[in-house]
A and B are shown apart, each in its own frame.
Chain A
Amino acid sequence: MLEIRNLCVETDGKPILKGINLSVKAGEVHAIMGPNGSGKSTLAHVLSGRDGYEVTAGEVLYQGVDLLDRAPEERARDGVFLAFQYPVEIPGVSNVYLLKAALNAVRKQRGEEELDAMDFMAYVREKLKLVEMDESFLSRAVNQGFSGGEKKRNEILQMAVLEPRLAILDETDSGLDIDALRIVAGGVNSLRTPERSMILVTHYQRLLDYIVPDHVHVLANGQIVRSGGRELALELEEKGYSWINQAGAAGGEARP
């Protein structure tokens, strides 16, 4: 699904990612953890095509094809989805309008018919249930006046509607109370399929209690310093990131 090889990225001449290697297979959920400033969000942004980063070395293959050459909207239509850490407000544009425009852009790419208003509403109503939102969400302006929890649920709703092949969730747990976290995680879990891969970018272990990853990677100073299973996250929680920094400085190998 996704193959990242020796990815090096700079912003404003400052190196952020220094040789990332990561392989994500179909159906896998990978968690990327790390302290603030380790490059987690940069990785999410580069994969989704955000402006402002310079790739200085390495490559990213998505379904066997170079990803980095492609415009963000092309990546999106091809199934790469980013759940934003800070979802953007768009005054005056209703949620349902954006959802429908986005879905039809993706469907067009897939060679499917665009959905008309009736079919779309029937489709989206089912998706609303996954994130426990009622229909009034649809007519509100995109993220405007939404609480933190509502914004994150809205991201997951968009993901459910667009049915991506690769979903990157950037700090989806930040700013959530425990109930909202449960709802968001429930939505994400219901979207796990053998075909769909996910990358969870998170600072805290807490999210992984709800969305159990297949692999955990620890990012520090722009490099993956450890990889392991679920237990790595727990170990990290117990010992803190300072433990990793020391281990990273000692040149610790990725664990099996």
Chain B
Amino acid sequence: MTTATDPYHALVNREYSEGFVTDIESETLPPGLDEDVIRVISAKKKEPEFLLNWRLEAFRHWQTMREPRWASVHHAPIDYQALSYYSAPKSDADRPKSLDEVDPELLRTYEKLGIPLREQEMLAGVIGGNVAVDAVFDSVSVATTFKKTLAEKGIIFGSFSEAVQTHPELIEQYLGSVVPVGDNFFAALNSAVFSDGSFCYVPKGVRCPMELSTYFRINQANTGQFERTLLIADEGSYVSYLEGCTAPQRDENQLHAAVVELVALADAEIKYSTVQNWYPGDAEGKGGIYNFVTKRGDCRGDRAKISWTQVETGSAITWKYPSCVLRGNDSIGEFYSVALTNNAQQADTGTKMIHLGRNTSSTIISKGISAGKGHNAYRGLVKVGKGAEGARNYTQCDSLLIGDKCSAHTFPYIEVQNPSASVEHEATTSKISDDQLFYCMQRGLDAEDAVSMIVNGFCKEVFRELPMEFAVEAQKLLGISLEGSVG
């Protein structure tokens, strides 16, 4: 057969391009978790008493809970006592006042990741459209830029630990108000031991002049990463927040159990975009990140709007359901998702839209892509409460299969308690056809580019929700993640 081609052959055996390890001395607690460990973490961070008590309450709750078993994912048992719950770059004791004081090794790491902090600071104040990066390296924020520009607008943006010191009243008021300490196993664990994360408060009527951005990065072997993010948009304000992740290559599985809480008051809008590219493990799934994340937004006021956009290409296992509680009347929740699983990756992801207020509306667009032996599940709940007069939901759930060893599953749950609600659900499953591939190749594209182009087309409705610079990154990432998709 002389005309035969193996369209995927060229894609095989590429290595994870973000796989490098930075050598920085770290101050790390020995493995294990008990109340003393939590007291140490809290003390190291000089936290007020209410926060220590809150952590301890979460820990006690967590001890009574069991890992969730309902997700459509499989992994070996996690030994939570074998993890270390605190690690900080040693320079923490003497925190850098500016980028010049930041460990050059760290800056080089960011450069490899394509986060030009130096450039960004130089660009500060030049023109709008800049991105402020609160860089989280392991567990402690080491550099924050653009703070001044934001401060002029009254916007508080920085590391969570810092906000605990400077604005404890906001932390006390809002922390755990969207995701309570006992919400679920991983959220409870996070609440007990969270190391750092980002905090943002946008005051009444303020439109945040730039996209806010945080890059997370795990860099310590055997160190669980427990980020805590709290975003509050006060009445009539607007903020767009970008979260991007890459992780260096590791042999052991790393647990990542983050919690993100969003609060949108009346007439406020929060747009939260994620590109997640944690290390997925090798072709057999060995060594990848376990990404067990709780993300929830509360439309607490009337006409509030929260929009989640996520592109999930990394991690060995993704367990994540960014959700909206539509409490305010006429509030809006949106969820746009691309989840890609290749090789042995598993994803169980989706959203919950909880309609409580009148005339609330939600939109769910989910695009799942499975390649290799990837296992991809959409799990979503649309719940319409008794008082949610006139609630509307539209759900579209599309799956794309590449090859014949992968799987796609859809678990839509719909609970409606109000007869005036309108709930629509559409679902499709398709394969990249040989016809499509041949058509592109007959026009001169190689198989890799053709697959990438077709997949990007499939995801278009989600990508157009991303801020421009993120959309470009997401498309590239999808191409990289599909390398070696079928042998």
Report which A residues bind B (CB closer than 8 A): 46, 48-51, 53-55, 68-69, 71-73, 75-77, 81-82, 84, 87-88, 90-93, 97-98, 101-102, 105-106, 109, 141, 158, 162
Contact = CB atoms under 8 A, between A and B. Distances in A.
A102 B445 contact: yes
Shortest Cβ-Cβ A-B pairs, 3 listed = A92-B457, A93-B457, A105-B444
A125 B442 CA distance: 23
B133 interface: no
Given A88-B436, A92-B459, A97-B453, A72 B442 contact: yes
A119 to B, nearest CB: 18
Nearest to B1: A54
A51 B434 contact: yes
Contacts of B1: 53-55
B3 A49 contact: yes
Q: How large is the interface on B (under 10, 10 to 19, 20 to 34, 35 or more residues)?
A: 20 to 34
B73 interface: no
B5 interface: yes
Contacts of B458: 91-92
A5 to B, nearest CB: 14
B208 interface: no
A50 B438 contact: yes
Nearest to A55: B2
Nearest to A98: B443
Nearest to B432: A90
B3 A162 contact: no
B457 A71 contact: no
Nearest to A158: B443
Contact of B3 (A55, A84, A88): A55
B441 A76 contact: yes
A106 B444 CA distance: 6
A97 B443 CA distance: 12
A130 to B, nearest CB: 18
A68 B5 CA distance: 11
Contacts of A91: 457-458
B183 interface: no
Contacts of A55: 1-3
Contacts of A49: 3, 5, 441-442
Nearest to A78: B444
Contact of A51 (B4, B454, B456, B457): B4
Contacts of A90: 436, 439-440, 453-454, 457
Interface of B: 1-5, 433-436, 438-447, 449, 453-454, 456-461
B446 A73 contact: yes
B3 A101 contact: no
10 contacts: A49-B441, A51-B3, A53-B3, A71-B5, A73-B447, A88-B439, A90-B436, A92-B457, A93-B457, A97-B453
Contacts of A46: 3
Contact of B444 (A69, A87, A97, A102): A102
Nearest to B457: A92
A82 B444 contact: no
Main SS at interface, chain A: mixed
Contact of B2 (A69, A77, A87, A98): A69
A94 B4 CA distance: 28
Nearest to B3: A49
Contacts of A158: 443
B443 A76 contact: yes
Contact of B440 (A77, A82, A92, A98): A98
A102 B457 CA distance: 16
Contacts of A51: 3-5, 434, 438
Nearest to A60: B2
Contacts of B453: 90, 93, 97-98, 101
A55 B3 CA distance: 8
Contact of B439 (A68, A81, A87): A87
A157 to B, nearest CB: 12
Contact of A48 (B433, B435, B436, B442): B442
B245 to A, nearest CB: 25
Given A72-B438, A84-B439, A93-B457, A109 B3 contact: no
Contacts of B5: 49, 51, 71-72
Given A51-B5, A55-B3, A101-B449, A93 B456 contact: yes
A92 B460 CA distance: 6
A67 to B, nearest CB: 9
A6 B441 CA distance: 27
B69 to A, nearest CB: 36
B153 to A, nearest CB: 35
A93 B444 CA distance: 16
A86 B439 CA distance: 10
Given A92-B456, A92-B460, A98-B453, A73 B2 contact: no
A68 B444 contact: no
Contacts of B457: 90-93, 141
A50 B459 CA distance: 27
A88 B441 CA distance: 12
Contacts of A50: 3, 438, 442
Nearest to B10: A71
Nearest to B460: A92
Q: Which of A69, A92, A97 has the most CB of B within 10 A?
A: A92
A102 B456 contact: no
Contacts of B454: 90, 93
A71 B437 CA distance: 13
Contact of B441 (A53, A54, A72, A93): A72
Contacts of B444: 73, 76-77, 101-102, 105-106, 109, 162
